[in-house]
Structure 1
Amino acid sequence: MIRYPHAVLAAAGLIAVPAAAQIAPLFTGTWKADIATAKLPAKPDVFELKDGRYTCSSCVPAIAVKADGTPQAATGHDYWDHIAVKAVDPTTISYSFYRAGKLTSANTDTVSADGNTLTSRWRSSDNVKKLEQSGTSTETRIAPAAPGAHAASGSWKPAEIKAVSDSNLIIQIKETPATFSWTQPSGETYTAKFGGPAVPFVGDPAKTMVKVRRIDARTVEETDTRAGKVVIVYTLTLQPDGQTLGVKVDNRKDGTKTEFTAHRQ
Protein backbone atom coordinates (compact mmCIF):
# COMPACT_ATOMS: atom_id res chain seq x y z
CA MET A 1 0.00 0.00 0.00
CA ILE A 2 0.91 3.44 -0.37
CA ARG A 3 2.60 5.13 2.51
CA TYR A 4 1.06 8.54 3.33
CA PRO A 5 3.58 11.32 2.54
CA HIS A 6 5.12 13.62 5.13
CA ALA A 7 5.42 16.82 3.04
CA VAL A 8 7.32 19.90 4.20
CA LEU A 9 8.06 23.54 3.42
CA ALA A 10 11.14 25.43 2.20
CA ALA A 11 12.44 29.00 1.86
CA ALA A 12 12.19 31.40 -1.09
CA GLY A 13 13.69 34.89 -1.49
CA LEU A 14 11.45 37.86 -2.33
CA ILE A 15 13.08 41.14 -3.45
CA ALA A 16 14.92 42.68 -0.49
CA VAL A 17 12.63 41.42 2.27
CA PRO A 18 13.30 38.00 3.87
CA ALA A 19 10.82 35.36 2.67
CA ALA A 20 10.10 34.26 6.21
CA ALA A 21 8.74 37.71 6.97
CA GLN A 22 6.35 37.62 4.01
CA ILE A 23 4.93 34.08 4.15
CA ALA A 24 2.30 33.28 6.77
CA PRO A 25 2.08 29.79 8.34
CA LEU A 26 -0.61 28.67 5.91
CA PHE A 27 -0.03 24.94 6.35
CA THR A 28 -0.24 24.81 10.16
CA GLY A 29 -3.01 22.52 11.38
CA THR A 30 -4.36 18.97 11.18
CA TRP A 31 -4.97 17.45 7.75
CA LYS A 32 -6.64 14.24 6.55
CA ALA A 33 -6.16 12.60 3.15
CA ASP A 34 -9.29 11.94 1.13
CA ILE A 35 -8.83 8.48 -0.42
CA ALA A 36 -11.83 9.03 -2.71
CA THR A 37 -9.78 11.64 -4.62
CA ALA A 38 -6.78 9.38 -5.22
CA LYS A 39 -5.41 9.09 -8.76
CA LEU A 40 -3.47 5.85 -8.61
CA PRO A 41 -0.34 4.88 -10.56
CA ALA A 42 -0.63 3.77 -14.17
CA LYS A 43 2.17 1.24 -13.74
CA PRO A 44 0.68 -2.28 -13.47
CA ASP A 45 1.47 -4.84 -10.78
CA VAL A 46 2.79 -8.01 -12.44
CA PHE A 47 3.29 -11.17 -10.40
CA GLU A 48 2.90 -14.93 -10.58
CA LEU A 49 2.68 -17.90 -8.24
CA LYS A 50 3.41 -21.08 -10.17
CA ASP A 51 5.14 -24.42 -9.53
CA GLY A 52 6.00 -23.46 -5.97
CA ARG A 53 7.67 -20.17 -6.94
CA TYR A 54 6.54 -16.56 -6.56
CA THR A 55 7.85 -13.86 -8.89
CA CYS A 56 7.03 -10.16 -9.04
CA SER A 57 8.56 -8.53 -12.11
CA SER A 58 7.05 -5.09 -11.41
CA CYS A 59 8.49 -4.91 -7.89
CA VAL A 60 11.60 -2.77 -7.38
CA PRO A 61 13.84 -4.70 -7.03
CA ALA A 62 12.13 -7.70 -8.65
CA ILE A 63 11.27 -10.65 -6.40
CA ALA A 64 11.78 -14.37 -7.10
CA VAL A 65 11.37 -16.70 -4.10
CA LYS A 66 10.00 -20.06 -3.03
CA ALA A 67 6.29 -19.87 -2.21
CA ASP A 68 6.20 -22.35 0.66
CA GLY A 69 5.14 -19.98 3.45
CA THR A 70 8.63 -19.68 4.98
CA PRO A 71 10.62 -16.40 5.08
CA GLN A 72 12.81 -15.98 2.01
CA ALA A 73 15.56 -13.38 1.61
CA ALA A 74 14.80 -10.49 -0.75
CA THR A 75 17.38 -7.72 -0.80
CA GLY A 76 17.03 -4.08 -1.79
CA HIS A 77 13.64 -3.35 -0.20
CA ASP A 78 13.49 -0.42 2.20
CA TYR A 79 11.14 -1.69 4.91
CA TRP A 80 11.70 -5.45 4.90
CA ASP A 81 14.40 -8.01 4.10
CA HIS A 82 12.46 -11.32 4.00
CA ILE A 83 9.09 -12.31 2.51
CA ALA A 84 6.95 -15.41 3.06
CA VAL A 85 4.47 -16.24 0.29
CA LYS A 86 1.93 -19.06 0.07
CA ALA A 87 -1.32 -20.00 -1.63
CA VAL A 88 -4.07 -19.92 1.00
CA ASP A 89 -6.65 -21.42 -1.36
CA PRO A 90 -7.40 -21.36 -5.12
CA THR A 91 -8.29 -17.65 -5.03
CA THR A 92 -6.04 -16.14 -2.31
CA ILE A 93 -2.30 -15.57 -1.86
CA SER A 94 -0.85 -14.44 1.49
CA TYR A 95 2.33 -12.45 2.10
CA SER A 96 4.23 -11.86 5.34
CA PHE A 97 7.07 -9.34 5.54
CA TYR A 98 9.98 -9.45 7.99
CA ARG A 99 12.84 -7.17 8.99
CA ALA A 100 15.72 -8.47 11.10
CA GLY A 101 13.70 -11.58 11.89
CA LYS A 102 10.61 -9.70 13.06
CA LEU A 103 7.20 -9.76 11.35
CA THR A 104 6.37 -6.20 10.27
CA SER A 105 3.30 -6.53 8.03
CA ALA A 106 1.01 -8.99 6.26
CA ASN A 107 -1.04 -8.83 3.03
CA THR A 108 -3.52 -10.97 1.14
CA ASP A 109 -4.52 -10.84 -2.53
CA THR A 110 -7.89 -12.39 -3.43
CA VAL A 111 -9.20 -12.72 -6.97
CA SER A 112 -12.93 -12.39 -7.71
CA ALA A 113 -15.05 -15.24 -9.06
CA ASP A 114 -14.93 -13.79 -12.59
CA GLY A 115 -11.14 -13.42 -12.36
CA ASN A 116 -11.15 -9.71 -13.21
CA THR A 117 -10.82 -7.96 -9.82
CA LEU A 118 -8.07 -8.35 -7.25
CA THR A 119 -8.76 -7.24 -3.66
CA SER A 120 -5.71 -6.56 -1.52
CA ARG A 121 -5.88 -6.29 2.26
CA TRP A 122 -2.94 -5.30 4.46
CA ARG A 123 -2.21 -4.77 8.12
CA SER A 124 0.86 -3.58 9.98
CA SER A 125 2.06 -2.29 13.34
CA ASP A 126 5.52 -1.34 12.09
CA ASN A 127 5.54 2.15 13.58
CA VAL A 128 6.79 4.05 16.63
CA LYS A 129 3.62 3.60 18.69
CA LYS A 130 2.92 0.06 17.42
CA LEU A 131 -0.53 1.09 16.23
CA GLU A 132 -2.44 -1.57 14.31
CA GLN A 133 -2.98 -0.11 10.84
CA SER A 134 -4.81 -1.60 7.88
CA GLY A 135 -6.19 -0.93 4.44
CA THR A 136 -8.05 -2.41 1.46
CA SER A 137 -7.66 -1.68 -2.24
CA THR A 138 -8.71 -3.17 -5.57
CA GLU A 139 -7.05 -3.69 -8.95
CA THR A 140 -8.41 -4.54 -12.39
CA ARG A 141 -6.98 -7.31 -14.51
CA ILE A 142 -5.19 -6.25 -17.70
CA ALA A 143 -3.45 -9.56 -18.54
CA PRO A 144 -4.39 -13.15 -17.65
CA ALA A 145 -2.63 -15.60 -15.42
CA ALA A 146 -0.32 -18.02 -17.21
CA PRO A 147 -1.59 -21.59 -17.66
CA GLY A 148 -1.07 -23.52 -14.44
CA ALA A 149 -0.47 -20.41 -12.33
CA HIS A 150 -2.48 -19.42 -9.27
CA ALA A 151 -5.69 -17.60 -10.26
CA ALA A 152 -4.54 -14.34 -8.64
CA SER A 153 -1.48 -14.21 -10.87
CA GLY A 154 -1.25 -11.90 -13.85
CA SER A 155 -1.00 -8.20 -14.61
CA TRP A 156 -3.15 -5.76 -12.62
CA LYS A 157 -3.88 -2.03 -12.81
CA PRO A 158 -4.51 -0.18 -9.51
CA ALA A 159 -8.20 0.81 -9.42
CA GLU A 160 -9.45 2.06 -6.03
CA ILE A 161 -8.44 2.48 -2.41
CA LYS A 162 -11.39 1.22 -0.40
CA ALA A 163 -10.28 1.94 3.16
CA VAL A 164 -7.21 3.03 5.14
CA SER A 165 -6.71 3.49 8.89
CA ASP A 166 -7.11 7.09 10.04
CA SER A 167 -3.63 6.96 11.57
CA ASN A 168 -2.26 6.59 8.03
CA LEU A 169 -4.26 9.54 6.76
CA ILE A 170 -4.07 12.21 9.47
CA ILE A 171 -1.05 14.52 9.81
CA GLN A 172 -0.27 17.40 12.13
CA ILE A 173 1.74 20.22 10.60
CA LYS A 174 3.35 23.14 12.40
CA GLU A 175 4.90 25.88 10.29
CA THR A 176 7.04 28.73 11.59
CA PRO A 177 8.93 31.37 9.57
CA ALA A 178 12.05 29.19 9.76
CA THR A 179 10.92 25.59 10.21
CA PHE A 180 8.31 23.05 9.31
CA SER A 181 7.28 20.15 11.56
CA TRP A 182 5.39 17.05 10.47
CA THR A 183 3.99 14.48 12.92
CA GLN A 184 1.98 11.33 12.22
CA PRO A 185 -0.37 9.72 14.79
CA SER A 186 1.83 6.62 14.74
CA GLY A 187 4.72 8.67 16.14
CA GLU A 188 6.99 9.36 13.16
CA THR A 189 8.08 13.00 13.01
CA TYR A 190 10.61 15.54 11.80
CA THR A 191 11.37 19.25 11.88
CA ALA A 192 13.16 20.72 8.86
CA LYS A 193 14.48 24.18 8.05
CA PHE A 194 13.18 25.74 4.88
CA GLY A 195 15.97 25.40 2.32
CA GLY A 196 18.16 23.72 4.92
CA PRO A 197 20.03 20.40 4.97
CA ALA A 198 18.31 17.01 5.00
CA VAL A 199 17.08 15.87 8.41
CA PRO A 200 16.05 12.41 9.68
CA PHE A 201 12.42 11.34 9.56
CA VAL A 202 12.57 10.18 13.17
CA GLY A 203 11.07 6.74 13.76
CA ASP A 204 11.05 5.72 10.10
CA PRO A 205 12.51 2.19 9.84
CA ALA A 206 13.97 2.92 6.39
CA LYS A 207 16.03 5.82 7.81
CA THR A 208 14.57 8.31 5.36
CA MET A 209 16.18 11.75 5.19
CA VAL A 210 14.04 14.78 4.31
CA LYS A 211 15.03 17.97 2.52
CA VAL A 212 12.52 20.69 1.73
CA ARG A 213 12.10 23.86 -0.27
CA ARG A 214 9.34 26.38 -0.84
CA ILE A 215 8.44 26.79 -4.50
CA ASP A 216 6.07 29.70 -3.82
CA ALA A 217 3.78 30.90 -1.01
CA ARG A 218 1.30 28.06 -1.59
CA THR A 219 3.53 25.28 -2.95
CA VAL A 220 6.06 23.18 -1.06
CA GLU A 221 8.36 20.43 -2.29
CA GLU A 222 9.87 17.65 -0.19
CA THR A 223 12.64 15.37 -1.42
CA ASP A 224 13.20 12.08 0.42
CA THR A 225 16.47 10.21 0.19
CA ARG A 226 17.72 6.85 1.46
CA ALA A 227 21.40 5.98 1.43
CA GLY A 228 21.99 9.23 -0.47
CA LYS A 229 19.60 8.38 -3.33
CA VAL A 230 16.38 10.26 -4.13
CA VAL A 231 13.43 7.90 -3.64
CA ILE A 232 10.33 10.12 -3.50
CA VAL A 233 9.49 13.75 -4.27
CA TYR A 234 6.28 15.19 -2.76
CA THR A 235 4.62 18.41 -3.91
CA LEU A 236 1.98 20.08 -1.73
CA THR A 237 -0.16 22.88 -3.13
CA LEU A 238 -2.51 24.82 -0.85
CA GLN A 239 -5.75 25.57 -2.70
CA PRO A 240 -7.32 29.09 -2.63
CA ASP A 241 -9.93 28.02 -0.07
CA GLY A 242 -7.15 27.40 2.46
CA GLN A 243 -8.86 24.16 3.49
CA THR A 244 -7.57 21.78 0.82
CA LEU A 245 -4.12 20.50 -0.11
CA GLY A 246 -3.33 19.02 -3.48
CA VAL A 247 -0.68 16.33 -3.02
CA LYS A 248 1.48 14.83 -5.77
CA VAL A 249 3.73 11.85 -5.04
CA ASP A 250 6.52 11.10 -7.49
CA ASN A 251 8.05 7.76 -6.44
CA ARG A 252 11.38 7.82 -8.24
CA LYS A 253 12.41 4.38 -6.99
CA ASP A 254 9.27 2.53 -8.08
CA GLY A 255 8.62 4.65 -11.16
CA THR A 256 5.06 5.55 -10.11
CA LYS A 257 3.04 8.74 -9.62
CA THR A 258 0.05 9.28 -7.35
CA GLU A 259 -2.18 12.29 -6.62
CA PHE A 260 -4.80 13.02 -3.95
CA THR A 261 -6.19 15.83 -1.83
CA ALA A 262 -6.17 16.36 1.92
CA HIS A 263 -8.64 18.45 3.93
CA ARG A 264 -8.07 20.64 6.95
CA GLN A 265 -9.72 19.19 10.05
Structure 2
Amino acid sequence: MNKSLVAVLLGVLLGAFLMPSPATAQSAFDGTWKIDLKQVHTPKKPDVMLLQDGMYHCKTCAPPITVKADGSDQPVSGHPYFDTLAVKVVDDHTIQETTKKGGKVISTSTTTVAGDGKTATFEFTENRDSSAEPVTGNGTMQRVAKGPAGAHAISGSWRTESYGSVSDNALTRSYTVDGDTLSMSSPTGESYSAKMDGSDAPYKGDPGTTSVSVKKLGQHVMQETDKRDGKVISVAKMTVAADGKSMTIAIDDKLHGSHMSFVAMKQ
Protein backbone atom coordinates (compact mmCIF):
# COMPACT_ATOMS: atom_id res chain seq x y z
CA MET A 1 0.00 0.00 0.00
CA ASN A 2 1.54 3.34 -0.96
CA LYS A 3 2.38 5.75 1.82
CA SER A 4 -0.26 8.30 0.87
CA LEU A 5 -2.97 5.69 1.39
CA VAL A 6 -1.50 4.68 4.74
CA ALA A 7 -1.24 8.29 5.82
CA VAL A 8 -4.78 9.03 4.78
CA LEU A 9 -6.04 5.89 6.49
CA LEU A 10 -4.24 6.57 9.74
CA GLY A 11 -4.81 10.31 9.67
CA VAL A 12 -8.56 9.74 9.36
CA LEU A 13 -9.06 6.69 11.51
CA LEU A 14 -6.76 7.86 14.28
CA GLY A 15 -8.16 11.32 14.79
CA ALA A 16 -10.82 12.72 12.53
CA PHE A 17 -13.88 11.49 14.39
CA LEU A 18 -12.79 12.73 17.81
CA MET A 19 -15.42 15.40 18.23
CA PRO A 20 -16.67 17.31 21.24
CA SER A 21 -20.12 17.32 22.76
CA PRO A 22 -22.30 19.97 24.32
CA ALA A 23 -21.00 21.08 27.70
CA THR A 24 -23.49 19.21 29.83
CA ALA A 25 -23.04 17.20 33.00
CA GLN A 26 -23.87 13.98 31.17
CA SER A 27 -22.73 14.37 27.62
CA ALA A 28 -23.85 11.93 24.95
CA PHE A 29 -20.28 12.07 23.63
CA ASP A 30 -18.66 10.88 26.87
CA GLY A 31 -17.17 7.39 26.78
CA THR A 32 -15.39 5.16 24.29
CA TRP A 33 -16.31 4.95 20.61
CA LYS A 34 -15.19 2.53 17.90
CA ILE A 35 -15.28 2.95 14.14
CA ASP A 36 -17.38 0.35 12.30
CA LEU A 37 -15.29 -0.69 9.28
CA LYS A 38 -18.44 -1.91 7.53
CA GLN A 39 -19.71 1.67 7.49
CA VAL A 40 -16.65 3.37 6.03
CA HIS A 41 -17.14 5.24 2.76
CA THR A 42 -13.67 5.70 1.29
CA PRO A 43 -12.58 8.70 -0.82
CA LYS A 44 -13.64 8.63 -4.47
CA LYS A 45 -10.53 10.50 -5.52
CA PRO A 46 -7.92 7.90 -6.54
CA ASP A 47 -4.27 7.64 -5.57
CA VAL A 48 -1.88 7.78 -8.52
CA MET A 49 1.39 5.80 -8.63
CA LEU A 50 4.02 5.03 -11.24
CA LEU A 51 6.80 2.45 -11.03
CA GLN A 52 8.89 2.41 -14.18
CA ASP A 53 12.56 2.41 -15.21
CA GLY A 54 13.66 1.79 -11.63
CA MET A 55 11.88 4.84 -10.23
CA TYR A 56 8.80 5.03 -7.99
CA HIS A 57 6.52 8.07 -8.12
CA CYS A 58 3.67 8.73 -5.69
CA LYS A 59 1.97 11.56 -7.53
CA THR A 60 -0.85 12.12 -5.04
CA CYS A 61 1.28 12.03 -1.91
CA ALA A 62 1.38 15.41 -0.16
CA PRO A 63 3.97 16.48 -1.16
CA PRO A 64 4.61 14.14 -4.14
CA ILE A 65 7.40 11.56 -3.83
CA THR A 66 9.95 10.33 -6.37
CA VAL A 67 12.57 7.78 -5.26
CA LYS A 68 14.65 4.94 -6.65
CA ALA A 69 12.85 1.60 -6.35
CA ASP A 70 15.95 -0.41 -5.42
CA GLY A 71 14.97 -1.37 -1.87
CA SER A 72 17.35 1.11 -0.24
CA ASP A 73 16.39 3.99 2.05
CA GLN A 74 15.82 7.10 -0.06
CA PRO A 75 15.58 10.56 1.56
CA VAL A 76 12.28 12.42 1.28
CA SER A 77 11.26 15.81 2.63
CA GLY A 78 8.09 17.54 3.70
CA HIS A 79 6.54 14.52 5.41
CA PRO A 80 6.15 14.77 9.21
CA TYR A 81 5.91 11.02 9.79
CA PHE A 82 9.04 9.84 7.93
CA ASP A 83 12.24 11.09 6.32
CA THR A 84 13.20 8.06 4.19
CA LEU A 85 11.24 5.67 1.98
CA ALA A 86 12.46 2.33 0.64
CA VAL A 87 10.55 0.72 -2.23
CA LYS A 88 11.36 -2.92 -3.02
CA VAL A 89 10.04 -4.67 -6.13
CA VAL A 90 9.20 -8.20 -5.01
CA ASP A 91 7.88 -9.35 -8.40
CA ASP A 92 5.87 -8.08 -11.35
CA HIS A 93 2.76 -7.65 -9.18
CA THR A 94 4.07 -6.94 -5.67
CA ILE A 95 5.98 -4.13 -3.97
CA GLN A 96 7.04 -3.54 -0.38
CA GLU A 97 7.48 -0.10 1.19
CA THR A 98 9.32 0.85 4.37
CA THR A 99 9.36 4.30 5.89
CA LYS A 100 11.77 5.45 8.59
CA LYS A 101 12.36 8.55 10.67
CA GLY A 102 15.74 9.12 12.24
CA GLY A 103 16.68 5.58 11.24
CA LYS A 104 13.72 4.01 13.07
CA VAL A 105 11.17 1.99 11.12
CA ILE A 106 7.84 3.83 11.14
CA SER A 107 5.79 1.75 8.72
CA THR A 108 5.94 -1.24 6.43
CA SER A 109 3.43 -2.16 3.75
CA THR A 110 2.99 -4.74 1.03
CA THR A 111 0.76 -4.22 -2.01
CA THR A 112 -0.08 -7.03 -4.43
CA VAL A 113 -1.93 -6.53 -7.71
CA ALA A 114 -4.23 -9.34 -8.83
CA GLY A 115 -3.40 -11.30 -11.97
CA ASP A 116 -6.05 -9.52 -14.01
CA GLY A 117 -4.69 -6.14 -12.87
CA LYS A 118 -8.11 -4.88 -11.83
CA THR A 119 -7.76 -5.11 -8.03
CA ALA A 120 -5.01 -5.10 -5.41
CA THR A 121 -4.66 -6.04 -1.77
CA PHE A 122 -2.55 -4.28 0.83
CA GLU A 123 -1.44 -4.83 4.40
CA PHE A 124 0.44 -2.45 6.66
CA THR A 125 2.00 -1.95 10.08
CA GLU A 126 2.75 1.44 11.64
CA ASN A 127 4.80 2.11 14.76
CA ARG A 128 4.50 5.25 16.86
CA ASP A 129 6.65 6.42 19.75
CA SER A 130 3.52 7.28 21.72
CA SER A 131 1.90 3.87 21.20
CA ALA A 132 2.73 0.66 23.02
CA GLU A 133 1.39 -1.51 20.20
CA PRO A 134 1.70 -0.97 16.44
CA VAL A 135 -1.27 -0.18 14.25
CA THR A 136 -1.97 -2.95 11.74
CA GLY A 137 -4.48 -3.39 8.95
CA ASN A 138 -5.30 -4.61 5.48
CA GLY A 139 -7.70 -3.89 2.66
CA THR A 140 -8.44 -3.88 -1.04
CA MET A 141 -8.09 -1.39 -3.89
CA GLN A 142 -9.88 -1.09 -7.23
CA ARG A 143 -8.08 0.11 -10.35
CA VAL A 144 -9.47 3.34 -11.81
CA ALA A 145 -6.93 3.82 -14.63
CA LYS A 146 -4.03 1.84 -16.06
CA GLY A 147 -0.42 2.92 -15.98
CA PRO A 148 1.72 3.36 -19.11
CA ALA A 149 2.84 0.41 -21.20
CA GLY A 150 5.84 -1.38 -19.74
CA ALA A 151 5.32 -0.04 -16.20
CA HIS A 152 5.01 -2.21 -13.10
CA ALA A 153 1.49 -3.51 -12.38
CA ILE A 154 1.16 -1.15 -9.39
CA SER A 155 1.27 1.81 -11.78
CA GLY A 156 -1.93 3.70 -12.43
CA SER A 157 -4.81 5.17 -10.43
CA TRP A 158 -6.30 3.24 -7.52
CA ARG A 159 -9.27 3.76 -5.23
CA THR A 160 -9.38 2.09 -1.81
CA GLU A 161 -12.53 -0.03 -1.75
CA SER A 162 -12.58 -1.40 1.79
CA TYR A 163 -10.57 -2.26 4.88
CA GLY A 164 -10.67 -5.91 5.84
CA SER A 165 -9.30 -5.19 9.29
CA VAL A 166 -7.65 -2.45 11.33
CA SER A 167 -6.34 -2.99 14.85
CA ASP A 168 -8.60 -1.78 17.65
CA ASN A 169 -6.03 0.74 18.91
CA ALA A 170 -6.56 2.75 15.72
CA LEU A 171 -10.35 2.51 15.82
CA THR A 172 -11.19 3.39 19.44
CA ARG A 173 -11.12 6.71 21.29
CA SER A 174 -12.24 7.91 24.73
CA TYR A 175 -13.15 11.46 25.68
CA THR A 176 -14.97 13.51 28.27
CA VAL A 177 -16.59 16.92 28.43
CA ASP A 178 -15.92 19.05 31.50
CA GLY A 179 -17.60 22.43 31.40
CA ASP A 180 -16.55 24.06 28.14
CA THR A 181 -13.57 21.74 27.56
CA LEU A 182 -13.28 18.49 25.64
CA SER A 183 -10.49 16.07 26.63
CA MET A 184 -9.54 13.18 24.37
CA SER A 185 -7.18 10.23 24.79
CA SER A 186 -6.41 7.24 22.61
CA PRO A 187 -4.64 3.84 22.80
CA THR A 188 -2.13 5.17 20.25
CA GLY A 189 -1.01 7.97 22.59
CA GLU A 190 -2.84 10.90 21.05
CA SER A 191 -4.55 13.45 23.26
CA TYR A 192 -5.83 17.01 23.51
CA SER A 193 -7.87 19.27 25.75
CA ALA A 194 -9.67 21.98 23.80
CA LYS A 195 -12.29 24.57 24.63
CA MET A 196 -15.40 24.18 22.50
CA ASP A 197 -15.32 27.75 21.22
CA GLY A 198 -13.28 27.23 18.06
CA SER A 199 -9.97 28.33 19.60
CA ASP A 200 -6.78 26.40 18.87
CA ALA A 201 -5.32 23.94 21.37
CA PRO A 202 -2.23 21.69 21.19
CA TYR A 203 -2.66 18.23 19.67
CA LYS A 204 -0.27 15.73 21.25
CA GLY A 205 1.05 12.37 20.06
CA ASP A 206 0.71 12.90 16.30
CA PRO A 207 3.57 14.64 14.43
CA GLY A 208 1.24 15.32 11.52
CA THR A 209 -1.24 17.35 13.59
CA THR A 210 0.06 20.15 15.79
CA SER A 211 -3.15 21.89 16.84
CA VAL A 212 -6.90 21.36 16.92
CA SER A 213 -10.04 23.43 17.37
CA VAL A 214 -13.57 22.25 18.10
CA LYS A 215 -16.83 24.13 17.73
CA LYS A 216 -20.46 23.32 18.47
CA LEU A 217 -22.71 23.75 15.42
CA GLY A 218 -25.92 22.43 16.95
CA GLN A 219 -27.29 20.28 19.72
CA HIS A 220 -25.91 17.10 18.16
CA VAL A 221 -23.43 18.48 15.63
CA MET A 222 -19.79 19.42 16.15
CA GLN A 223 -16.91 20.43 13.91
CA GLU A 224 -13.22 19.67 14.43
CA THR A 225 -10.48 21.44 12.51
CA ASP A 226 -6.99 19.93 12.53
CA LYS A 227 -3.95 22.02 11.66
CA ARG A 228 -0.27 21.44 10.95
CA ASP A 229 1.92 24.40 11.79
CA GLY A 230 -1.04 26.75 11.49
CA LYS A 231 -2.33 25.32 8.18
CA VAL A 232 -5.69 23.55 8.06
CA ILE A 233 -5.22 19.94 6.96
CA SER A 234 -8.67 18.50 7.64
CA VAL A 235 -12.16 19.49 8.74
CA ALA A 236 -14.55 16.92 10.18
CA LYS A 237 -18.24 17.30 10.89
CA MET A 238 -19.87 14.89 13.33
CA THR A 239 -23.56 14.26 13.84
CA VAL A 240 -24.75 12.20 16.82
CA ALA A 241 -27.77 9.96 16.33
CA ALA A 242 -30.88 10.68 18.37
CA ASP A 243 -30.45 7.44 20.33
CA GLY A 244 -26.86 8.37 21.23
CA LYS A 245 -25.50 5.03 19.99
CA SER A 246 -23.69 6.16 16.85
CA MET A 247 -21.91 9.12 15.27
CA THR A 248 -21.75 9.84 11.55
CA ILE A 249 -18.55 11.65 10.61
CA ALA A 250 -17.88 13.46 7.33
CA ILE A 251 -14.22 14.27 6.60
CA ASP A 252 -12.89 16.98 4.30
CA ASP A 253 -9.22 16.10 3.74
CA LYS A 254 -7.62 19.40 2.71
CA LEU A 255 -4.17 17.89 2.08
CA HIS A 256 -5.34 15.44 -0.56
CA GLY A 257 -8.47 17.22 -1.76
CA SER A 258 -10.68 14.26 -0.92
CA HIS A 259 -13.74 13.40 1.16
CA MET A 260 -14.84 10.37 3.13
CA SER A 261 -17.32 9.41 5.85
CA PHE A 262 -17.78 6.68 8.44
CA VAL A 263 -19.72 5.73 11.55
CA ALA A 264 -18.42 5.23 15.10
CA MET A 265 -20.40 3.16 17.59
CA LYS A 266 -20.56 3.85 21.31
CA GLN A 267 -19.04 1.01 23.32
Task: Flag whether TM exceeds 0.5 (same fold).
Answer: yes
From 69, 81, 84, the counterpart of 1:82: 84
Percent of pairs with identical residues: 37
Q: Structure 2 unaligned segments of length 5 or more: list them.
A: 1-5
From 36, 44, 59, the counterpart of 2:38: 36
Higher CA-based Rg: 1
Tell me by how many angstroms 1:94 deviates.
0.8
From 41, 46, 49, the counterpart of 1:47: 49
- Of stretches 193-202 and 65-74 in structure 1, the one that deviates more from structure 2 is 193-202
TM-score, normalisation: structure 1: 0.91
TM-score, normalisation: structure 2: 0.91
2:128: which partner in 1?
Answer: 126
Q: Does structure 2 retain, via aligned residues, the 8 Å contact 1:141–1:157?
A: yes
Tell me by how many angstroms 1:106 deviates.
0.8
Q: Does structure 2 retain, via aligned residues, the 8 Å contact 1:244–1:261?
A: yes
2:256: which partner in 1?
Answer: 254
Tell me by how many angstroms 1:111 deviates.
0.4
From 241, 244, 247, the counterpart of 2:243: 241
Tell me by how many angstroms 1:8 deviates.
2.8
From 4, 8, 33, the counterpart of 2:19: 8
2:105: which partner in 1?
Answer: 103
Q: Does structure 2 retain, via aligned residues, the 8 Å contact 1:43–1:256?
A: yes
Give the match's secondary structure for 2:170: helix
Give the match's secondary structure for 1:39: coil
Structure 2 counterpart of 1:141, which letter? R
Q: Does structure 2 retain, via aligned residues, the 8 Å contact 1:10–1:195?
A: no
- Give me the CA root mean square deviation: 1.7
- Of stretches 72-81 and 237-246 in structure 1, the one that deviates more from structure 2 is 72-81
1:234/1:207 CA distance change after superposition, 3 Å: closer
Task: Please give the per-residue CA displacement for 1:225-257, whole angstroms capped at 9, x wherever unaligned.
Answer: 111100011111101111000011111011111
How many pairs were matched up? 256
More helix by share: 2
1:207/1:221 CA distance change after superposition, 3 Å: closer
Give the match's secondary structure for 2:160: strand
Give the match's secondary structure for 2:39: strand
State how 1:205-244 maps to structure 2 within 5 Å.
Answer: 205-244=207-246
Structure 2 counterpart of 1:44, which letter? P
Cα distance in 2 for residues equivalent to 1:139 and 1:196:
36
Q: Structure 1 unaligned segments of length 5 or more: list them.
A: 12-19
